[in-house]
Chain A
Amino acid sequence: MQVQGTVFKYGDNVDTDVIIPARYLNTSDPKELAQHCMEDIDRDFVSRVQPGDIIVAGKNFGCGSSREHAPLAIKAAGVSVVIAATFARIFYRNAINIGLPILECPEAVERIEAGDELAVDFTSGVITNLTRNESYQGQPFPKFMQDLIAAGGLLSYIKKQKG
């Protein structure tokens, strides 16, 4: 599976409070949450993001709270994949569980700039930078994760196993 989109670039330690501030957590409706996605770090994100666009960030993306509202907001905003040097562990689990594709690739993060056009292949983990004519090898999901994603998320995976 492949996606293509324009890059929104952020730094290290993007926390879940800036991805979706707690003042909006009195709802869990993904569409409502998406209207405030990245609000405290990038006021223009919501007005500029197009379906398929890509977030690229430094290390420890999604640190802080366990709120699943963070990956839900990013996904509902139309983002096709988040690429980071590393992810905070609860965000990593949550993204997989709700079916938001994520890739770890420190090299890509170093090279990619805001506004670059990328194509990303989830099966191989290869990230192609169409703007700069180069490609980077991201870490593809382990098989366990691929099965989980293929099943459509954690709960369908469990139902299938119980089958």
Chain B
Amino acid sequence: MAMTMTQKILAAHAGLDEVKAGQLIMADVDLVLGNDITTPVAVNEFRKNGFEQVFDKQKIAIVPDHFTPNKDIKAAEQCKFIREFAYEQEIENYFEVGEMGIEHALIPEQGLAVPGDVIIGADSHTCTYGALGAFSTGIGSTDMAAAMATGKTWFKVPGAIKFTLTGRPGKWVSGKDIILHIIGMIGVDGALYRSMEFVGDGIAHLSMDSRFTMANMAIEAGAKNGIFLVDDQTLAYVKEHSTKPYTVYEPDPDAEYEAEYTIDLSKIRPTVAFPHLPENTRTIDEVGSIKIDQVVIGSCTNGRIEDIRVAASILKGRKVANGVRVIVFPATQKIYLQALREGLIEQLIEAGAVVSTPTCGPCLGGHMGILASGERAVATTNRNFVGRMGHPESEVYLASPAVAAASALTGRISNPEDIAD
């Protein structure tokens, strides 16, 4: 029977020749991931049920990134709790502040995700690694505990939606605009329970960083995972970052899809999602005059080097608008250092932005840039739900780093085409 890319990976990890949509399977996992919010619950479950040892201390990653550097006493206690667990279990991939980055930027950078892997993480944006041709998906803390104990987890095999990407995106259009466009088209439950498979010759025009952004936001369409075909760029990335063995899967030519879309990337405009759902999208030409108080550039969605470069290229030699607070979060220490060496941090600071150590920070309303009632932010993050970045009466507009940086200069949501040279 013909299978999608995701189905092939799942079949291989369940020891089966084939699987079909709807089938319940038990699969081996290559990596189990948790953060400082979800791991404490998992550790409690793990211990409460009498498990003493994790199944494989190399195949677990714990990244305290949400409320770190510790934002308050309770957050510090949670971090201490998981740190002690990581030491006790000799977890090899525990990343302390100093090595820590935002988990979904850090895991690929550390070479812990490669094509053909099955990765589960107690964080909904675990689907990011689909950019590398891996099956990865978010689960909860109890699932994390069970997988830490057994190295296995259960899945209902998903059906899939196929997105054939063609053409080359415009200069100021990146993965963020494309995925927002898609979510606007199919809705926040448009891919519920299903895989989003990205194929087509347009992929070649998308950088790895753009692909990470797109796979990252598959969850915002309700998808179980988003996955890209593996190409030369993917293999070059893997070669640079990892020594793990990998397997490249391709969908069967006659694989069944529940829906198919063709998207011409050359037609995509810079896109913004209005409050309070990622599906409330408008092109930059339709946004009107929206005054803003804060700009956030960072997160597991858009805190990679390409994102910092784009933002700096727009802010360089200019000044942030009066009354606008601009906060930039390089997603990992390595990205931060790279940005520093390229002179980008200096450009950002001279323009009037602040640059933070890696943290999820304000993306989920944790710390480092919380909004007051009535305030508006343009953010390169992934969610604009009610209260997401602070007060329930604040507003978040999701956009690309280029739109965010352009908006920082004018104090209104702006088109990078109107500002850049």
Contact A17 B388 (CB under 8 A): yes
Which of A21, A88, A155 touches B145 (beta carbons < 8 Å)?
A: A155
Is residue A5 contacting chain B, with contact meaning CB distance below 8 A? no
Is residue B416 contacting chain A, with contact meaning CB distance below 8 A? no
Q: How many residues of B contact A (CB 8 A)?
A: 52
Is residue A23 contacting chain B, with contact meaning CB distance below 8 A? yes
Which partner residue on chain A sits nearest B74 by CB separation? A26
Q: Among residues 384 to 413 in chain B, which have CB atoms less than 8 Å away from a CB atom of chain A? A: 385-388, 392
In Å, the complex CA distance between A41 and B341 comes to 45
Is residue A4 contacting chain B, with contact meaning CB distance below 8 A? no
Is residue B138 contacting chain A, with contact meaning CB distance below 8 A? yes
Contact B142 A17 (CB under 8 A): no
Contacts of B38 in A (CB 8 A): 66-68
Contacts of A90 in B (CB 8 A): 124, 138-140, 219
Task: Please give the distance in Å from B321's CB to the nearest CB on chain A.
Answer: 28
Q: How many residues of A contact B (CB 8 A)?
A: 39
Task: Please give the distance in Å from B13's CB to the nearest CB on chain A.
Answer: 17
Contact A15 B385 (CB under 8 A): yes
Contacts of B121 in A (CB 8 A): 66
Is residue A129 contacting chain B, with contact meaning CB distance below 8 A? no
In Å, the complex CA distance between A69 and B421 comes to 47
In Å, the complex CA distance between A21 and B122 comes to 17
Contact A13 B50 (CB under 8 A): no
Is residue A28 contacting chain B, with contact meaning CB distance below 8 A? yes
In Å, the complex CA distance between A40 and B276 comes to 13
Interface segment out of the listed B40-48, B91-99, B331-339: B40-48
In Å, the complex CA distance between A90 and B354 comes to 35
Contacts of A65 in B (CB 8 A): 123-124, 364, 383
A-B contact pairs, 14 of them (CB 8 A): A22-B37, A23-B366, A26-B72, A26-B75, A28-B44, A41-B386, A60-B192, A63-B188, A66-B38, A66-B139, A66-B140, A94-B139, A153-B142, A158-B146
Interface residues of A, Cβ cutoff 8 Å to B:
13, 15, 17-18, 21-23, 25-28, 40-41, 59-60, 63-69, 72, 86, 88-90, 93-94, 97-98, 142, 144, 153-156, 158-159
